[in-house]
Amino acid sequence: MEETQQTLLPAWIQRALMLISTLAALALYAGVLGTAIVRTITQDAPAFNANMVRAAALLSGLIGAVVTAGFASSQQPITLQTQSGSFLSTLVGRRSNRLPIKLDSLSSTLGLTPRGPAPQRDPLAGLTSLGLTEWIALAYFVVYFAVGVAALLVTLTRPSAHDMVSNAGWVWLGTAISSTYSYLGLNARS
């Protein structure tokens, strides 16, 4: 007798819920921290309620951890070649397809696409070969990066910055470093 695994929700509904959750978390991250950053820049001593402070702390770590995990879980190993090509081509992966592979992995981590082998892409196509889910993953990364850099810059330039903004900036710095290690495929075994 063959046993089939049934799920409570069909795969397309699960992906739709993950898309909504992903976009909601990203919107909250940008909204809560963006508002805090703007208020910190424009007001002398902005006050934030306890729920906003909790939300900022949770979202700062969550978004950074998801980006790091997404970059780290690439299905295709990527080698770092620094002798041939420029530093920028190494980061973007013009020769190794690094960026599309990492965005596909982040997309899978976000639950937008099922796990599986990384799709084969034309090395010269660059960003033009990305699908919708990879564009969403890229937007996720760009918002994470922009909000984090802004929080860190406000922290460094305004000694009176609220702890919520300072903590978000320092959390971003830590997760950005680990995300960079994951993006470049650096680990103790390399």
CA distances 7 to 4, 25, 30, 113, 173, Å, are: 10, 25, 33, 17, 39
Note the pTM of the prediction, 2 decimals: 0.74
Task: Give the integer Cα–Cα distance in Å for 64 and 84.
Answer: 31
**Amino acid 135: pLDDT:** 84
Q: Domain extents for the chain?
A: 12-40+55-184
**Amino acid 167: pLDDT:** 93
Residue 172 CA to chain centroid, in angstroms? 11
Cα angle 85-86-92, degrees, rounded to a multiple of 5: 100
**Amino acid 78: pLDDT:** 46
**Amino acid 184: pLDDT:** 80
pLDDT by position in tens, the chain (length 190) = 444 556 788 877 887 888 888 889 999 999 999 999 999 999 988 999 999 999 999 999 889 888 888 888 775 544 444 445 555 554 544 445 677 888 888 888 887 776 555 555 544 445 555 778 888 888 889 999 999 999 999 999 998 899 999 999 999 999 999 888 888 876 544 4
Task: Give the integer Cα–Cα distance in Å for 104 and 116.
Answer: 10
